[in-house]
Structure 1
Amino acid sequence: MFAIIFNFGFMIIEDEYIRLIFGLKLKQIRTEKNLSLFGLGKLTGLSKSYLNEIEKGKKYPKTDKIAILAESLDVPYDHLVSLKLDKNLAPIGEILQSKILKEIPLDLFGIQENNLIDIVANAPAKVNAFISTIIKISQNYNLTRESFFLASLRSYQEAHNNYFEDIEESVEKFAKLYHINLEKRITSDDLEEILIEEFNYIINTEELAKHSNLTDLRNIYIPNKNTLLLSNEITEAQKTFIYAKEIAYNFLKIENRLYTFPWIKFDSFDQVLNNFIASYFAGALIIPKKTLVTQLKELFALKEWQPLRLHKIIRSYNCSDETFYQRLTNILPKTFNIKNLFFLRFTHKEGSPVYRLSKELHITQQQAPHANRNQEHYCRRWISLKTIQDFEQSSQERSAFGIQISSYENSSNEYLVLSAANKDPFKKDIYRSISIGMLLSPHLKRKFQFFKEDTFDKQIVGVTCETCSVKECTERVAEPWRLTKLERYNEVEETVKNIINSFQ
């Protein structure tokens, strides 16, 4: 059930919920008896507008009015006031009681909660069918509260092209107030001083090392002691990013926050959103917009592709490959109008046949590839997977880089994809790649002066082996059984159609 899927536990019943449930029951009984609001008003002596407000959950009638409604509709008084809904409306009651509408800040998407309540009240049967469908899908695909909130966050990012001017302005304001030169490489020492002197932080680099089961954690913040516990295994870039996030929480006065990185659990969508805001602030501080835009303009103006030039840009910042590629998803859509792009993070355990897509973002449209819940095998021709393989086979410690034009089978879409792979410093035998892909539109080709059709390797790719129609693929690790099944179905459908037509 929906409340169980999202694991909200027991919820205190509010007046709003009681009003809405009463209104849903009243409307259901009225429509079952083929009565209009006008007709019910004639029966009860209550005004049509008053009854309408009851059904929409805006008003709850007094005892004498409930008695009149029960008698006029020939239903028991207790049934009318009971919070138990009939089976066909039960899922609606669960989603309302779970407070899912309150957990997600709908106003971020331009939606008012009252509008959704009106929709529920006006078409309960259709909403119930929709909710039941969502429940079945979530059960089949193991949808958790975590994945639901993360999907909501991605939708929020994508709706804004992953660019937030207010956070960009906050970074510039912070730098000015604290005399941070954004034209110079920012170090952890720069930010640690501010955390200690301005925000009274205590930095502890010894405690986490005492706990062998916390090797995956980079930091823990203890609010009542204003103490930041840091792993002594983190790199300088990771420490700088952590400090920048802590500064964001304090400078932006964010109190409802997560306390670990990576996070272990969260209590609300607000915490997920605030974690994103702090991370965005950190990326914008470490990789300032003005400097990056200048560097990218110079890179795009080159007549010949020079990969070392890109590597020098990345290394000019005190950041990880992931932080840099994530920052590109902020800047490319806004400043360069490159909006058809995707960001992917793959992880792979050494010796395993499984590659997991652990993070994704799609600007403007849902470009392939994207995460699948069917445990299918991602196409091994993707540069995202090849860079992981290259790094695993290399003895070097530095990242493996790759670039490729991915041309999708049975599609006119082609993407220029850049990828970097390295070892996960906190997980044994785990490797990861970060990729950004941009649709090869005429606009992009004009923007990239260095682009020539024969400059980069081009690969015809699929999405998963199970759905891929590429013939004689040497990288294939599974048969295209899903595609074969679809083709067989289409053949049968066409044969049946021809038979029917032959008898007409």
Structure 2
Amino acid sequence: MDHHVKTAKKNVIKFILGIKLKQLRKKSNLSLKELAEKSGLSASYLNEIEKGKKYPKLEKINAIADVLKVSADHLSSTKLGKSLHPLTEFVESELFNKFPAEMFGINDQDIYDLMSNSPEKFSSFLVAVLELARSYDITVDNILQSVLRSYQESYNNYFVDLENLSLQAREEFGLNENNFTSSQLKDVLIQKFDYVIDEESLSHHEETKSTRSYFKAKKGKNIFLLNKDLTEAQKKFTLGKELGICYLGVRRKQEGAIDFAQILGDFRASYFSGALSLPAHSFVKDLKEVFQNKSFKEESFLSLLIKYGVSSEVLMHRMTQILPEYFGLNQLYFLRCTNDFEQRPNAFKITRELHLAQMHAPHGQRLKEHYCRRWVTITLLKDLAKKMTENKNDVPLLGIQRSLINGQNVEYFCVSIARPSKIMPETNSCITIGILMDDYFKRQVSFWNDESVTKKLVGQTCERCNIMDCNERAEEPTIVLEQETQIKKSQFLSNLVKDM
């Protein structure tokens, strides 16, 4: 058992004792001062016990138990009553022990204090939260990923230390040209970090043919399996991320493990890889040229993929880092949406998202509702599925759209790129970046009013959309209809009482 786990268990024991002591003292109608006088202990010491900060020796537990007329075993046991059991469940949970509260200026003691001030109310609150989590199938990993997104948003998704380290690595390893290759990264890992890289094994086995990479330290060597069926851009990103893990000294994310340090390390290594391929000074210059055009030029945008040798996902995600810092465009979102066009052609799943400054629309949801079919993201995926069915075309499709959000009076300029997966042939993915079209955006981006760009009124999901004449609808507006029925019922009841 490691030191962190031992400390966590000790803290739980102290917390439970504090809760029980406070409950029993109040049940006996004793103030801290009165309990102190009767037990021979100081009021300040008893207060520290109730807050979960101290754990008394056995003779002091006996003295307290005698005053409260309970056994020492009952007082010191780690069992709480039924109404407070959720507190025990929470403080012993994987979520509580792995949640990085310190990132938000909160420590475990702050949470213990909050719970001990009103344990019954906090317990009821926990029951409600846990029920919601179960209803929406929210896991600890989902919550930790949300913490990571909050961390990114708090820094506007731009990290100066990683920018500087990526430039330093480019210089140190001779990766100064815009489009260095995956082979160059392989050489760096082999020569500088004792890697043995195998590009054959993963693609030869059915169980691993959709796995991008796998790492194992073995006998002083770093064994790295890389799927040979990845595109050059994907290999470049994957190897750049591996270099980031070594260069930054971050913790590697293990398959199936739930640990925020690993999740954060994985993010930092990914950021490093993107910055390595798309250095800010060069990429900013290129984006300025794109934004100065009076009309959106598809070829200018797609040419950046070739110039830097990156995938559409790396390019678009890098934009979420550069646009807030260098262009002041921080009202934006990033989405990755996937579609199994062979087995489930009408099912679309958001597998990655980032929202800066606020939660934008569209966004992911776990309600099993149908995303609005008017999104450019889904339009492109449907178009790509048709092309794949006809001729297996793997050329990326680019789409742009001005999306006016139904009922919100806000508009986003959306750019999407859809393409098939090399290692999962039945799956297509689409990457979208949407930027709020406020006055500042219009001053920064000259093509904002390009008349060739499609304008569409869009919603979040079909079930919640009140655009009744929508031809793209995949499901009836069930939630809207339920709400309308409830409003009519309330109005009828109000009028019924009024006439009495």
2:144 corresponding residue in structure 1: 149
Say which of 284, 290, 296 aligns to 2:287. Answer: 296
Q: Structure 1 residue 310: deviation in Å?
A: 1.2
1:92 aligned partner: 87
2:203 to 198, 205, 209: 209
**Shift, 1:496, TM fit:** 3.1
Call closer, same or farther: CA 1:43–1:496 in 2, change over 3 Å.
farther
Q: 1:364 to 1:250 in 2, by over 3 A?
A: same
TM-score by length of 2: 0.93
1:500 Cα shift? 4.7
The alignment partner of 1:487 has SS state of helix
Q: 1:283 aligns with which of 274, 279, 284?
A: 274
Aligned residue identity for 2:233: A
- 376, 380, 399: which one aligns with 2:396: 399
Percent identity between the two aligned chains: 36
Trace 1:463-502 onto structure 2 (pairs within 5 A): 463-500=460-497
Please tell me whether the aligned partners of residues 413 and 448 of structure 2 are also in contact (alpha carbons under 8 angstroms).
no
Partner of 2:446: helix, strand, or coil? Answer: coil
After the TM superposition, list the runs of 4 or more consecutive aligned residues in structure 1 that deviate by more than 6 angstroms: 10-13
Matched, 1:174 2:169: yes
Question: Deviation string for 1:446-478 (max 9, x for gaps)?
Answer: 111222163421111111111110121111121
Q: Deviations over 1:22-77 (max 9, x none)?
A: 01111122233343323322333322211110011111112222122112122222
Secondary structure of 1:213 counterpart: coil
Which segments of 5 or more consecutive residues in structure 2 lack a partner in the other structure? none
Paired with 1:104 and 1:144, the residues of 2 have a C-alpha distance of: 12
Structure 1 residues 13 and 79, CA gap change in structure 2 (3 angstroms): farther
Letter in 2 for 1:358: T
For 2:469, the aligned partner's letter is: E
User: Which residue is equivalent to 1:354?
Assistant: 347
Alpha-carbon distance between aligned partners in 2 of 1:470 and 1:27, rounded to the nearest angstrom:
56
Q: Which of 50, 60, 85 is the matching residue for 1:55?
A: 50
Q: Return the offset for 1:502.
A: 5.5
The 5-angstrom pairing of residues 37-116 of structure 1 reads: 37-116=32-111
Residue type of the alignment partner of 2:63:
I
Is the contact made by 2:51 and 2:112 (CA closer than 8 Å) also made in structure 1? yes
Does 2:22 match 1:27?
yes
Find 1:432's aligned residue among 421, 429, 434: 429
> Hey, what's the Cα distance between the residues in 2 that align with 1:393 and 1:133?
45
Q: Return the alpha-carbon distance in structure 2 between the equivalents of residues 38 and 349 of structure 1.
A: 67
Question: 1:39, 1:490 → 2: CA distance?
Answer: 56
Shift of 1:340: 1.3
Matching of residue 454 in structure 1 with residue 447 in structure 2: no
Q: 2:114 aligns with which of 115, 119, 122?
A: 119
| CA distance 1:173–1:387, shift in 2 (3 Å) | same
Q: Is the 8 A contact 1:104 1:270 kept in 2?
A: no
Query: Please, what is the CA RMSD of the aligned residues?
Result: 1.9
Measure, in 1, the Cα distance between the counterparts of 2:25 and 2:495: 49
Q: Output the TM-score relative to the length of structure 1.
A: 0.92
1:235 correspondence with 2:225: no
Residue 368 of structure 1, CA deviation = 1.5
Q: CA deviation at 1:238?
A: 1.2
In structure 2, the CA distance between the partners of 1:448 and 1:210, relative to structure 1 (3 Å rule), is: closer
Classify the secondary structure of the residue corresponding to 2:473. coil
Do the aligned residues in 1 keep the contact of 2:361 with 2:460 (CA within 8 Å)?
Answer: yes
Structure 1 distance, partners of 2:492, 2:125, is 34
Mean Cα deviation higher: 434-443 or 304-313: 304-313
Q: Secondary structure at the match of 1:143?
A: coil
Question: Taking structure 1 as reference, are residues 83 and 197 closer, same or farther at Cα in structure 2, changes over 3 Å only?
Answer: same
Residues of 1 paired with 2:356 and 2:128: CA distance? 27
> Aligned to 1:425, what secondary structure does the other structure show?
coil
The 8 Å contact of residues 11 and 97 in structure 1, kept in 2 or not, is answered as no
| Equivalences for residues 238-387 of structure 1 within 5 A | 238-254=234-250, 256-258=251-253, 264-351=255-342, 352=344, 353-387=346-380
What's the secondary structure of 1:180's corresponding residue? coil
Of 163, 185, 188, which residue of structure 1 is paired with 2:182? 188
Q: Which moved more, 1:44-53 or 1:27-36?
A: 27-36
- Decide whether the 8 Å contact of 2:323 with 2:329 is kept in 1: yes
User: Offset of 1:132 from its aligned partner?
Assistant: 1.2
Q: Secondary structure at the match of 2:352?
A: strand
